[in-house]
Each structure stands twice: as C-alpha cells, then as structure tokens.
Amino acid sequence: MPTRSRLRLPALDMPLLLAALALVCLGLLTVYSATSIPGAHQGLWTRQLAWAGIAVAVAWVVASIHYRAYDALAWPLYIIAMGLLVLVLLKGSSAMGAKRWLDLGPLHFQPSELAKVATVILLARCFDQEKIDLRRFKHWFPALLIVLLPFALVAKQPDLGTSLTFPVILIAMYFWAGMPVGQLLLGLSPVFNAALFFLTGGLWWSAGLVVVLLGAVRPRLATLVVVVLLNFCVGYALPHVWNHMHDYQKRRIVTFMNPGEDPYRAGYQIIQSRIAIGSGGFKGTGYLKGTQKGLAFLPMRHTDFIFSVVGEEWGLLGTATVVLLYALLVLRGFRLALVARSGFASLVAVGVMSALFYHIMVNILMTIGWAPVTGLPLPFISYGGTALVANGIQIGLLQNVAIRRMEL
C-alpha cells in the first residue's frame, strides 16, 4: 500500500506546492476583499476562483507530461508563441494605450505569458549540450537572438515591464549554464552605460568599469570586439542622438521608460499605495476592514496594486508572510535546479524561477514606491486569468522537474 500511494503522489516538491497554494488562497481572499466595495468589479472573486481551479488542472497536466516532450517541441512552441506576439501587435485589443491582449471569443489571452515559458524551454534546449561553452561567441550569440525577438515584440506593445522579463531570464540561464560572472557583467556593461548616462549624464564611471572588467575577464577576441563596439555605440552615440532629438521624441522615450500611463496618475497611485500599506502597521486593520482600498483612486487595487490591500488589512504580519512564502517558493525552485536529473530540467527550473522572482520583486517594490509603476501583476495573488494559468504552467513545470528528479 505505501508504494501505491507513493505512485499516486510521486515525489512532488511539497513545500513548493504548498507555498504556491497558500499564495493562491491568500490571493482569492484578498481579491474578495478588494472587490467587496459597492461599485465596479464587485464579485470578481468567483471568476478568480474558477481560474484558480483551471490553473491547478493545467499545472497537473503540465506536470504529468514528461519534460522530454517539451524539449522535443521547443522550437514549434517558440514559433507559435512568436506568431501570437506578432498577431497581438496586428490585431490585439488595447487597454490603457497598449496592445497586450488577444480576444478569443469570450476569453482574453495575453500571449506574452506563453512567450515567457516558450523562451525558457527553447533556451534550456540550446544550453543543454555536452560541449556548451558560453565564453564562445557562437554559443552565446544565438541565445541572445532568441531572446531579442520576444523582447522587441513585447516592448513594441508597448509593455516595457513585461518585456524586461526576457533579458532577466536570459541572464539567469546564461549564468546557470556556466557563463562566468565576469563575462556576464561585461555583456551587461552597455546597459550600465545607458543607465549611467540617464542617471548622471556622464560616462567616465562606466568606461572605468569596462576597462576593469576587460582586465579581469580577458575574453576571447570576438566577444571583446562585440563588447567594445556595443559600449562604444552606447557611450558615443547615445548622448549624441539624445541631444539631437526633438523634445517630443525625448518625451516619448521618457514615457516609454515610465510606462505608468501618465506620470501624474502614477505618482498618485504610489502615494495611495504607500498610505494603504503604511497605515496597516504591524497587525493591519483587519480582514475586510481596510478603508484605503475603497478609494476610487487605486483603480488597480485588485490587480497590480493588490499587495497594498494585503498590507493595509493584514499589516506587517500579512506582508511578511507573503514575502516569506515567496522566498520559500523561489528557494525551493532554485534547489530543484540544483538536484534536477537532466541539464534541460535544471535550466527550465532556473528560467521559470528567475521570471517569477523578477515579477514578485518588481511588483512589491512598486507598491512600496521603490520601483517605477509598471503593469506587472503579482504572481498567484493578482486578479487575472491568463496570469494565474501561466503561474500554473510554471508551477507545473517545476513539479515536472521534481517528479522526475529520481529517474535513471
């Protein structure tokens, strides 16, 4: 009998599963609370409950198919996902000035969620080779192209917050697949360059950084040439181009980098969110007793700003619990990557986990005013069907890795 039950629940990663389920339950409770005020959105929690059920089922299905199948289907999956991203640009329905959704009959579908998973799977397939050496140009460059395509397509929607998930995934998987940290930093140096230019207006800092890195890493010639060229382009061209742009062009770029539809409203949302979280104090106002969440001025209180409702009603006890559950989830995910049976599985785990980690961080830091307002939902908790099902897929993939970690 014990053997049978073992077969029924084969080596699931229980802490990961329970953490995810706990977060979904917390999410349902909070969505119920956030939409309990008379007015728009009331009663949305029933739909969220239905979506949670679907997400669990999807996770089950994704977990039960052997990951070898995903490995084999990596390219078709990727191509379909890219096709959908193109389709959304052509025919998508827009919300708040961005085209993010595909209408499938009664369903709204956000192809960028699928693209994330597909990209992770394809990258894992590419990096899972006996002789992979990411110090070599021909090994790391194709991966860059694979990621650039969805990045550009999602950025074009425009959805900068989501599009940045792709480089985050790439960096994490480069790292896990064995790229030296020094080289990784070197590759990122043009980004530092650009950031430093916008922050300080000067480039001496980053020039010094690049020189130090080059000395430390001693990369191969092709890599060296590309890095220096990129840095030169960014360092030389950026200020030039910037200074020659018209004001309205600059404004577009600034708006693009601060995608909180309009700066006035975004700043206000952050203030409201901080007041809500801060007023929760240690114990919170009590479930369903939050006063701030009722403000019509936090229009995304059940989606992007749901963490503010958690903070107000459950105080630091609630927020710390949520943060610790997330920490448990992420750490278990990375541990799965360590113990995974195959390279592919290990890489998938890291890719999936890094995307989740990025979403969690950006959303929570946004609600406390430490990150810009982006349209990223809080995984497992925010209202939204596509995102929840996507989270289900991610958990399913991780459990898939967990189930088969003992295979021969």
Partner 1 sequence: MLPSKPLRERRHQRYRLLVALTLTGFGLTLLGLVRLQILDGGRYAGLAKENRVRPEVLRAPRGTIYDRNGELLADSSPSFGIVFRPFPAESTQRALEAMSPAWLARVSALVELDSAEVRSRVNFANLSGQSAMLKHDAPFAILARVEETRSELPGIEVQLEPLRRYPHGTLAAHLLGYAGEINGAELDTLKDAGYQPGDLIGRTGVERRYEDVLRGRDGVEYVVVNARGRRVSTLKESGELAPVPGQDLVLTLDLKVQRALEEVMADVPRGAAVVLDPRDGGILAMVSRPVYDPNEFSHGLTRARWKQLSEGGANPLLDRAIQGVYPPGSTFKIVTMSAALSRGVARAGTRFAPCLGGLNYGGRRFGCWDHRGHGSLDLIGALQHSCDVYFYQLGLKLGLARLEETAKALGLGARTGVDLPQEARGLIPDAAYYDKRWGARGWRSGLLLNLAIGQGELLLTPLQLALMTAEAAMDGRPLRPHVVERVGRAPAFRPARPVQPGLPADSAIWRPVKEGMELVVAAGTGGAARVPGLRVAGKTGTAQNPHGQDHALFVCYAPVDSPRVAVAIVIENAGHGGSVCAPRAGAMLRRLFLPDSLQRPAARPAPRDSARRAVVDTGVVDAD
List the interface residues with partner 1, window 184-243 (CB under 8 A). Answer: none
> In the complex with partner 1, which residue's Cβ is closer, 108 or 274?
274
Window 253 to 292, contacts with partner 1 (CB under 8 A): 255, 261-268, 270-272, 274-282, 291-292
Given 34, 337, 393, 403, the residue binding partner 1 (CB under 8 A) = 337
CA 197-202-207 angle, 5° bins: 90
Is residue 23 a contact residue for partner 1 (CB under 8 A)?
no
Given 76, 178, 202, 208, the residue binding partner 1 (CB under 8 A) = 178
Given 63, 82, 123, 134, the residue binding partner 1 (CB under 8 A) = 134
Burial of 337 (C-beta count, 10 Å sphere; 0-12/13-18/19+): buried
Given 9, 252, 257, 286, the residue binding partner 1 (CB under 8 A) = 252
Is residue 330 a contact residue for partner 1 (CB under 8 A)?
yes
Which residues lie across from 86 on neighbouring strands?
none
Phi and psi angles of residue 106, each rounded to the nearest 5 degrees, phi first: -80, -10
Residue pointed to by tokens 């995903």: 70
Is residue 316 a contact residue for partner 1 (CB under 8 A)?
yes
Is residue 36 a contact residue for partner 1 (CB under 8 A)?
no
Is residue 174 a contact residue for partner 1 (CB under 8 A)?
no
Characterize the bridge pairing of strands 107-109 and 98-104.
antiparallel
Q: Which of 48, 25, 15 is nearest to 287 (CA)?
A: 25
Is residue 319 a contact residue for partner 1 (CB under 8 A)?
yes
Given 344, 374, 380, 391, the residue binding partner 1 (CB under 8 A) = 344
Is residue 183 a contact residue for partner 1 (CB under 8 A)?
no
Window 65 to 84, contacts with partner 1 (CB under 8 A): none
Residue pointed to by tokens 């990951």: 67
Residue pointed to by tokens 């599009």: 163
Residues binding partner 1: what is the number (CB under 8 A)?
80
> In the complex with partner 1, which residue's Cβ is closer, 60 or 370?
370
Which one of 17-25, 145-153, 216-224, 346-354 is the stretch in contact with partner 1 (CB under 8 A)? Answer: 346-354
> In the complex with partner 1, which residue's Cβ is closer, 103 or 262?
262
Phi and psi angles of residue 258, each rounded to the nearest 5 degrees, phi first: -115, 80
Residue pointed to by tokens 């409201």: 272
Question: 3-class secondary structure for 340-402?
Answer: CCCHHHHHHHHHHHHHHHHHHHHHHHHHCCCCCCCCCCCCCCCCCHHHHHHHHHHHHHHHHHH
Is residue 22 a contact residue for partner 1 (CB under 8 A)?
no
Is residue 340 a contact residue for partner 1 (CB under 8 A)?
yes
Which residues lie across from 104 on neighbouring strands?
107
